Structure 1
Amino acid sequence: MKPTNEQRLNLPRTLKLGTFHIGSSFIDLLTSGVLNRILITDLALAATPVALLSALRYLLAPLSVWAGYRSDLRPPGTLRRLPFIWGGRLPMLLSLPILPFVTALLAEDPGSVLGWSLAFFAFLIYGIGTLISGATYLSLVRDSAPPARRGQALAIVQVFLVISFPLAGVIYGRLMPVYDQASFWRLVLIGMTIAFAFIAFALWGAERPAETTAAVDPTPPEPFLPLLRQMWSDPRARWFFMFLALGAVSAFAQDAVLEPFGGDVFGLDNGQTTRFNAYWGAGVVLSLLGTVYMTRHRAAHEQTGVAKIGLALTGIPLFLLSVIALTEWQALLIPVLVLFGLGFGIYTVGAVSLLAAMTTERHAAAYLGLWSMTQLLFRGLGIFAGGAIRDIALFVSGSYTIAYAGVFLLEALGLFVCIAILQRVDVPGFVRGESRPLGASATLAAADG
């Protein structure tokens, strides 16, 4: 049976929305990849404070739930998502010119109070912008697709993210193969220009207020805190939270240390380690596209098995990376990074589809905000943990190989535990019961609030 026009995904519109992620990747890679490498390897700073800076935006993640809740409350016939998206992305862009001042000050004095203060300020602005705009962008994508195709729409825009990260890595690697202050300034300005162009293109005419008028629930909205309590009272939501939390910690603990790993263990230069993103990103693109195609007829709530396979195929390469770190077997490094990307792509399709399923019509952005908050908060904790584990292991062992091997091994173990946790999440049951009204206890709590 062919889908009707109302059930079909508007592919051109979804692809246009996906270009938003191209702009986002050019912003994110400057902070999560290039700057980390400069501070840890080129300027020889400790990984722990650098990782803490990278984690700062994730530690502010509850803002994403609030932003989603507020966008859900926007009245019919108005722009619900775009004000929050632009209100977040513009501060992110404006934080980037601060970064070259940070590197210049810390190059002169690694303990510069002004340098670290500027770094904190830049990452604070950047983090707030990320959180205000992230969940509302996902809600915009979800709103643009029919219910049966929402997981597919979210997976398609995710393809743009993983394609653009390696693309940005190659471009940045060519623009600045070796760090110097003038090259870093040029890199930041070019990255800002590219990012703004793609974000503006993606968001131009992206939200159509008239489309939201018929679906708005006329009943009064629940207050914020009682709504959160109601969401958390469902055991399926709690297990899903644990799955997302441990998955984010385990998958991203390498984020701040992967490029320094190439420099510290194998002596690779800045241009070579920046291309790490291209290697594993190429694997993500291949598996993401293949998995989206293979699962295109599945509803979002039917993707639990895909997520489990992806978890296993992401954990195995991380285990292999720990072996490579111990043996310093450089010949296997690039193939294993590609394998890591292949597994991560499968995991991403499964997890993103489950995100789309674990929402309700009335509180779509609030649920997506909660899940985004979980991923961001624990991704940040993972990034910080990766840097801290590396530093502690290095202090204890005096060996870079043992330090990095420890990070990768713990990541692999965490991903395998996630498979067991996901077994406890009844996603189809959540979808069948998603239209349940607030219970009596939650209604009383709302009255008290």
Structure 2
Amino acid sequence: MTQANGLSWFGIIRLGTVQAAIGAIVMLATSLLNRVMVVEYSIAAAIPAALVAWHYAVQLSRPLWGHKSDQTARRTPWIVGGMGILALGAVLAVDATIMMANPGVGAFLLAIVSFTMIGLGVGVSGTALLALLASRVSVERKPAAAAISWTMMVAGIVIAAGVSGAYLDPFTAPRLAIVSSFVALIAFCLAMLALKGLEDKNPVVARPQADQQSASFPDVLKDIWQDKEARRFTYFVFISMLAYSMQDLIMEPFAGFLFEMTPGQSTQLSSLQHSGILLGMLLSGVGGSLYTKRFGQNLKLWIVLGCLGSAVMLAGLSIAATTGATWPLKANVFGLGVANGVFAVAAVSAMLGLASKGVASGEGARMGVWGASQAIAFGTGGLTGAIIVDQLRAFTGEDVTAFQIVFGVEAIMFILAALVATGTKIARPNQSREAMEI
């Protein structure tokens, strides 16, 4: 295989900018619009949860898009096309949400179409982007690339949530449409600028083997599943993301119902949580010696610490449901974000390390499989959390008990994820396949 130096630090930052743009647009659908449907328009929480779950279901096609991008000379067209579909889908989702002020068949049909586009756009652009990152970054820079890329993605979410939250109050439908459209447009334009000429000037670090380029899609999936490390890592991704996602769709309604926060305030609370994720990623990178060859030795430690820390913070939210306004909610949510960030950056680094180690499967297909695993977990977790909250509120007539139980279940799931991580072999980015073990 021919070797190349790989992307420069500036090139990695440019790809991180595209990640930030994707995160900013997705935030509109999974956070802001969810809150507006449930609180402002009194739609059952299961409706936006089902829409978000559907956009994750669409992402089950990620392995196919990744495999297709493996067989083409350039991944940039896949990223550009996916970003265009994503941005347009987000704008249509805002229109559908506004129409739900007077619910009808048209509003729900448009919502289904728009969330289908969002899922397709994220699946195509996100998978191709991760594959581009894995194939263009040198081995010794992959851990740092994971930290930079995900830190910038979270920064994009934080900025988009903070800015949109600041301009949403006082809430009106026209204001929602204008603010959301500007977020989608600016994010798309930034992504296009960041991608311009990047792939053409940076060849792959290691050329794919011939059988990777000619292998059929079923052979690719078989290759991934027969790889013990890749298969075990898929299990870990599913369990940890399931634990994380159950609170994703109920956090803002929780703040609205029990802490009487406005749409702008609860959106800013979401921004605070993602600020915590950002700090957690930085702490994990520095504390785990992310930029050194010793990172692999500490990888499992930081994953486990992040999972257990998340469990503790979720237990705190269960207490907050009982104590109400006297509980330091902002500090608790920020702490949850920090713990999430700690385990996330280590997990992503492991993902990049495993992506290029297939015999018949390329980076795109492998990233697609892990992306699909995450999508299943997110769709299942988000929908399950919302349905449990809805049903418990209806059965008990209390908001407190409903949110308490969901947060408690999430804490248990994170403990389970930590236990799975302790027995999972995860790729160390600077090791050969035969030497993988932590």
Normalised TM-score (structure 2): 0.91
* Alignment of structure 1 residues 304-343 onto 2, 5 Å: 304-343=300-339
1:87 paired to 2:81: yes
- In the alignment, which residue of structure 2 is the partner of 1:180? 172
Deviation at 1:330, TM superposition (A): 4.2
Deviations 1:392-416 (CA, angstroms, capped at 9, x unpaired) = 2112211111111111111111011
SS of the aligned residue for 1:97 comes to helix
Structure 1 Cα separation of the partners of residues 18 and 188 of structure 2:
9
- In the alignment, which residue of structure 1 is the partner of 2:137? 145
Taking a change above 3 Å as real, the CA distance of residues 214 and 386 of structure 1, as seen in their structure-2 partners, is: closer
* Alignment of structure 1 residues 10-409 onto 2, 5 Å: 10-74=8-72, 78-79=73-74, 81-109=75-103, 112-208=104-200, 211-212=203-204, 215-219=207-211, 221-294=214-287, 295=289, 296-298=291-293, 301-302=296-297, 303-361=299-357, 363-409=362-408
Q: Is contact 1:318–1:411 with CA below 8 Å preserved after alignment?
A: yes
SS of the aligned residue for 1:61 comes to helix
Taking a change above 3 Å as real, the CA distance of residues 428 and 26 of structure 1, as seen in their structure-2 partners, is: closer
Taking a change above 3 Å as real, the CA distance of residues 428 and 56 of structure 1, as seen in their structure-2 partners, is: closer
Deviations 1:103-150 (CA, angstroms, capped at 9, x unpaired) = 3321123xx111111100100011111111111101111222101221
Q: Is contact 1:300–1:356 with CA below 8 Å preserved after alignment?
A: no
Query: Which residue type is aligned with residue 334 of structure 2?
Result: V
Q: Is contact 2:238–2:373 with CA below 8 Å preserved after alignment?
A: yes
Q: Is contact 1:300–1:357 with CA below 8 Å preserved after alignment?
A: no
SS of the aligned residue for 2:214 comes to coil
Q: Is contact 1:14–1:144 with CA below 8 Å preserved after alignment?
A: no
> Which has the higher mean CA deviation after the structures are superposed, 172-181 or 216-225?
216-225
SS of the aligned residue for 1:157 comes to helix
Query: Which residue type is aligned with residue 377 of structure 2?
Result: F
Q: Is contact 2:135–2:205 with CA below 8 Å preserved after alignment?
A: no
Query: Which residue type is aligned with residue 221 of structure 2?
Result: L
Deviation at 1:192, TM superposition (A): 2.0
Query: Which residue type is aligned with residue 288 of structure 1?
Result: M
Structure 2 Cα separation of the partners of residues 213 and 10 of structure 1:
12
Taking a change above 3 Å as real, the CA distance of residues 134 and 221 of structure 1, as seen in their structure-2 partners, is: same
Deviation at 1:374, TM superposition (A): 0.7
Deviation at 1:101, TM superposition (A): 2.9
Taking a change above 3 Å as real, the CA distance of residues 306 and 91 of structure 1, as seen in their structure-2 partners, is: same
> Which has the higher mean CA deviation after the structures are superposed, 145-154 or 245-254?
145-154
Query: Which residue type is aligned with residue 97 of structure 1?
Result: V
Query: Which residue type is aligned with residue 256 of structure 2?
Result: G
Structure 1 Cα separation of the partners of residues 268 and 428 of structure 2:
43
Q: Is contact 2:4–2:203 with CA below 8 Å preserved after alignment?
A: no
Q: Is contact 1:142–1:154 with CA below 8 Å preserved after alignment?
A: no
Query: Which residue type is aligned with residue 133 of structure 1?
Result: S
Structure 1 Cα separation of the partners of residues 427 and 157 of structure 2:
33
Q: Is contact 1:22–1:198 with CA below 8 Å preserved after alignment?
A: no
Structure 1 segments unaligned to the other structure (5+ residues): 436-449
Deviations 1:309-332 (CA, angstroms, capped at 9, x unpaired) = 111111210111111112214441
Query: Once superposed, what is the RMSD of the aligned Cα atoms?
Result: 2.3
Deviation at 1:300, TM superposition (A): 6.3
Query: Which residue type is aligned with residue 312 of structure 2?
Result: I
- In the alignment, which residue of structure 2 is the partner of 1:426? 425
Deviation at 1:376, TM superposition (A): 1.7
Deviation at 1:206, TM superposition (A): 1.9
Structure 2 Cα separation of the partners of residues 368 and 334 of structure 1:
34
> Which has the higher mean CA deviation after the structures are superposed, 215-224 or 121-130?
215-224
Structure 2 Cα separation of the partners of residues 89 and 333 of structure 1:
35
Deviation at 1:222, TM superposition (A): 2.0
Taking a change above 3 Å as real, the CA distance of residues 7 and 291 of structure 1, as seen in their structure-2 partners, is: farther
Deviation at 1:278, TM superposition (A): 2.1
Deviations 1:204-246 (CA, angstroms, capped at 9, x unpaired) = 1121277239723234622111221232123433322221111
Deviations 1:378-429 (CA, angstroms, capped at 9, x unpaired) = 1111111111111121122111111111111111110110111112222259
Q: Is contact 2:57–2:375 with CA below 8 Å preserved after alignment?
A: yes
SS of the aligned residue for 1:265 comes to helix
1:412 paired to 2:403: no
Structure 2 Cα separation of the partners of residues 408 and 340 of structure 1:
12
Q: Quick one: percent identity of the two aligned structures?
A: 24
Structure 1 Cα separation of the partners of residues 230 and 135 of structure 2:
21
